[in-house]
């Protein structure tokens, strides 16, 4: 029996953002989970759902967030991350061949209710190819 297995696109996108953000003037860390010792500025990406599109394509939905001390800086960080993610189609990141990206909701101001830190967020789908895995028995 063969099974289609999808890569850890969440980590692939995080790692890609971590390496690309400084190249676009945003030398900030990229996280999946909120860091315990929260930096003053960072970008966060995490999967919020999304279905398999067909037998070989995962169409995950991801939240992107820009965190900073001011609303304008949080939006600026998010817009850089947004541009990097929207440039992914046709490229491979980690094990993920990216086919398409599509925004569901553009940037929205959503300050953190606990820390009051400024945060902008958006939701995007990222379609990637899975791979065949054979049984090992």
**Residue 79 is part of a domain; what is its CATH number?**
3.30.2000.30
pLDDT value for 129:
92
pLDDT value for 55:
87
Residue 58 near residue 130, CB atoms below 8 Å: yes
Contact partners, residue 72, CB within 8 Å, separation at least 6: none
Q: State the residue range of the domain holding 68.
A: 2-132
* Residue 137 domain-assigned (yes or no): no
pLDDT value for 96:
83
Block residue for tokens 């999946």? 32
Backbone angles phi, psi at 20, to 5 degrees: -90, -35
* Residue 22 domain-assigned (yes or no): yes
Looking at the structure of the chain, the number of domains it has is 1
For residue 31, what are the β-bridge partners? 44
pLDDT value for 2:
78
Q: Which of 30, 117, 103, 114 is nearest to 69 (CA)?
A: 117
* Residue 86 domain-assigned (yes or no): yes
* Residue 91 domain-assigned (yes or no): yes
Residue ranges for the chain with pLDDT beneath 70:
none
* Residue 31 domain-assigned (yes or no): yes
């Amino acid at each position: 029996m063969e099974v289609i297995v999808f890569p850890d696109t969440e980590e692939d996108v995080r790692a890609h953002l971590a390496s690309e953000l400084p190249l676009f003037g945003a030398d900030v860390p990229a996280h999946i989970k909120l860091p315990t010792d929260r930096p003053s500025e960072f970008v966060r990406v995490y999967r919020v759902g999304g279905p398999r599109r067909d037998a070989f394509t995962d169409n995950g939905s991801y939240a992107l967030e820009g965190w900073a001390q001011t609303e304008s800086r949080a939006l600026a960080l998010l817009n850089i991350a947004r541009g990097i993610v929207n440039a992914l189609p046709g490229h491979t990141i980690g094990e993920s061949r990216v086919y398409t990206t599509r925004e569901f909701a553009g940037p929205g101001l959503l300050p953190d209710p606990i820390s009051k830190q400024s945060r902008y967020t958006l939701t995007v789908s990222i379609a990637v190819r899975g791979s065949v895995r054979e049984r090992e028995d």
